[in-house]
Amino acid sequence: MWVTAGTSLVLLIVMFLRGVTLPCAWGGIRHLVQFDSHSLLDYNTWGFASANILYTYFFGFGIYTTLGSFSHFRHSFLRDVLAVSAASFAMEILSAMAVWSVLGYLMCAMGIPMEEATSTGAYLIYGTLPQALCKTSQPMLWSALFFLMMFLLAISSFIVLVQVLVAIVSTGLRRWCRKRWLLVLAVCGPGFCISLVYCSEKGGEWLSLVDGFAAIVTPLVVCLLEVIVFVYIYGAGRLARDVEMLSNTFVSYYCYFTWIATVPLVLLLILASHLLMMIRSSMYFLAISTTLAIPIFSLFYVFRSVFCKMLQGAATPWGPKAPSDRAAWERFCAERPVRRRFFHRRF
């Protein structure tokens, strides 16, 4: 993981240095930072921005909840949040400047306006940028480095997603998953066979459909359900109390406001805008198909065992599994009782 992510970062820096040294590169960068007030009033801008945030931080894919369970019980995850946010922000700025510098060079090399040189999605990676790199000196070298960087970025994300899926399956089916390599093979094998569809003649269209419709609604629904469970069912006050115990960090009222009001409202608006766009394009069935796995798995989880045992397990109070951690958590909760569901401090 460190090799793939570190090498891709080095290659991104190399591509950035090469891009800013091309002719007319700064024209593309100026187009990137140019302020356009009309775009702020377009809901598509906010939809694309939300999709970019979900893909950048992988919200709603189960990465943080699954991998975070392997950390120590008391862990300063606030430091991890700041580090991940700062690193992602720096990578976004660096990659954006690298891409737009190459687009600026393509604009001058082909003599076309910037609006025609820009593109999004898979065509930007497999069409526009390789076309621009082919017009530079030593095009084979820069094209090879570019696709190597994209491969390393993709494989690093794929490793994490597979690890999350394997951890979830191995936790739920311990009796059937004694050999980890067989489970990894069972996950990667069918995934590889299904992904061969994208290499067919119509693969680009399938990739655009899945990337534009099916892969954006499910993370939004999962994020919204997580907010409902943790903030409104478990309680924002209890959540803040647990955060303060685990990280030894004071939770401000700004976090309360974002948890209770801002985050669910923004998620609802973004989800509604995406659903409206999908209904207009008659692709809503593709987006809903992946989301249907959530209620189906929930019903399977409820009815797979005896109903009385399910009720007994649901009534069991939540708490850490280790006895020492549970004792410390209960002592901390006794010292700071939750007086209200959303706030636990005294007024």
Closest Cα to residue 259, out of 221, 223, 294? 223
Instruction: Count other C-beta atoms under 10 Å from residue 98's C-beta.
Output: 24
156 among the known binding-site residues? no
Cα distance between residue 90 and residue 272, in whole Å: 30
Backbone phi, then psi, for 57, in 5-degree steps? -100, -5
Q: Is 62 exposed, middle or buried (0-12, 13-18, 19+ CB in 10 A)?
A: middle
Q: H helices of the chain, where?
A: 2-20, 25-33, 37-40, 43-57, 63-67, 77-110, 114-117, 121-123, 129-133, 139-172, 180-195, 203-209, 215-227, 236-247, 253-257, 263-280, 284-291, 293-303, 307-315, 323-335
153 among the known binding-site residues? yes
- Binding-site residues from annotation for Na(+): 153, 157
- Binding-site residues from annotation: 153, 157
